[in-house]
Amino acid sequence: MTSTTEVTTTVPAAHYSVSELLAVVSCRYLRGKRRVFAGIGLPTLAVALAQQSTSPEIEQIYESGVCGAHPPRLPETIADASLATGAETILTMPVLFGYVLQGGWIDVGFLGAAQIDRGGSLNTSVIGDWASPTVRLPGSGGAAEVMANSQEVFVVMRRHNRTSFVGTLDFCTSPSPAAARRADPKVPTRGAGVTTVISELGVFTADETGELCLASIHEGVTVEQVRERTGWPVKVMDSLTVTSPPTAEELRLLREEIDPGRVYLR
């Protein structure tokens, strides 16, 4: 019997961008997942990388009703015509939300947010006071339904600071099922809520109570830096690891095959 050893080449941090790091780390956490309800942007990029590397079996689903999407290029919105090309099926939104999402068929809801709290609730509505905000955001879209009904939710955050990782949200757009269960155990909830958050500094995963705890730090980042830039007292997992850098092949796929036009890579 012969054995083979997979040889990978990792790349120094100076040679990849934050967007590339976030896409690669997110892709790795998607290994073994089957149906992913992905938002536009970095979630779409991460799923595309997973389909071309670790998880070709992933079925990508978009809020517009497209299931099993195989677009010839990266879509720029959920209504991008390219999503229809080669899709396995296209459902009406009532069918998608009423039977697929609320039916419990989504393994991972993959979202972005402007703010997140320690329990995994999200703000995508306003920054500042509701009546007179400093920034008005797109709102929920389907995010609140995705949060409530997916088996688990991943969140990717481009910026990690005390205005994005906050003690108290300026507005709660997508409440965490885990927080709802803690507040009232009789509240009917389906999913686990946010289980994984990938940021520019590291990865948070939820503990048994649903609290987001630091599970991994990226190369060159310290735990103290994460604590200084997080708006709640950060718990650190006993199993804390250092993220493996992107490999040369992961970066080649992103740059040359998936996003050569730099739609989402910055």
Note the pLDDT tens digit of each residue in 91-103.
999 999 999 999 9
Q: Rounded mean pLDDT of the chain?
A: 92
Lowest mean pLDDT among 40-44, 181-185, 201-205, 216-220: 181-185
Give the pLDDT score at 8. Answer: 66
- Rounded CA gap, 90 and 66, in Å? 4
The residue-averaged pLDDT of 127-139 equals 92
* pLDDT exceeds 50 at position 136: yes
- Rounded CA gap, 215 and 137, in Å? 29
Q: How confident is the model at residue 4 (pLDDT cuts 50, 70, 90)?
A: very low
Q: Which two tokens stand for residue 171?
A: 């507005």
The residue-averaged pLDDT of 63-78 equals 89
Run of H or E including 249: helix 248-252
Catalytic residues: 63
Q: How confident is the model at residue 3 (pLDDT cuts 50, 70, 90)?
A: very low
Which residue in 139, 171, 157, 142 sits closest to 39, CA to CA? 142
Give the pLDDT score at 66. Answer: 94
Give the pLDDT score at 223. Answer: 98
* pLDDT exceeds 60 at position 14: yes
